[in-house]
Amino acid sequence: MTEKINEIIAVLKDRYPTAPCALHYSKDYELMIAVRLSAQCTDARVNLVTPGLFAAYPTLEAMASADISDVENHVRSCGFYKHKARDIVQACQMLLTDYGGKVPGTMEELLRLPGVGRKTANLLLGDLYGVPGSVVCDTHCIRICGRLGLSQGKDPEKVEQQLRAILPPEESSDFCHRIVLFGRDCCTARNPSCGQCPLTMYCKEFNP
C-alpha cells in the first residue's frame, strides 16, 4: 500500500503542482466562515457570496455582533442559510470570548465551535497551521479514494481514519486539496473521464 499511495501522490503532484484551498479568504476566521458556507454548496458559489459578506462585516468583532437575519440575507444562496448564519455569528462570538480572537489550533478546541465538524476542523488545521495528518474527508475524497481502493465505505470519519493510516502525514492536507481538483476535472461522480485518467491502473471500477 505504501508504494501505491506514494505513486498516486506523485501523479497528483505532477498534475496539480500547487494545491491551494479553493475557498478565498484573507483572515483565519474568514476561512472558518467560508468552510461553513460550503457545506452542501459549491466552493464557486461560496466565493461569490463571501466578498459581500466580508465587506459588510470587515472585522471579527463586526461579524460577532452582526444581526443574524442580515447575515441570512447575505448567505441565502448558499442553502441552509438560517443554520449557517446562526453558526457563523455564534462561532465568531466564541472566538472572541474563548480563544482570544483567533481560530484555535487543536481539533478539540475547533470542535467546540458552532457548525465546525471534523471536516472543517481538519481543513483549518491543515491550511492555517500546517498540522501534519490533517485529512479533509469530503464527498470527492470519499468517492475517489474508494474507487482507488484506498478506503472503504462512505462514513466520513471512518474514511478519515483509514486515510490517516496510509497517507504520509506531511502530504495529507495537500493530497486532499488535489483530490478535490481531480474530482472536478477528471474523476467526476457521474461521468468520470476514464479515458484521460492517469490513475486507471489503480481504479477498482475501471479494473473490476
Catalytic residue numbers, as ranges: 119, 138
Give me 67's grid cell.
444581526
Nearest to 84 by CA among 131, 45, 135: 45
Nearest to 135 by CA among 173, 98, 181, 103: 173
Measured in Å, how far apart are the chain's first and last C-alpha atoms?
18
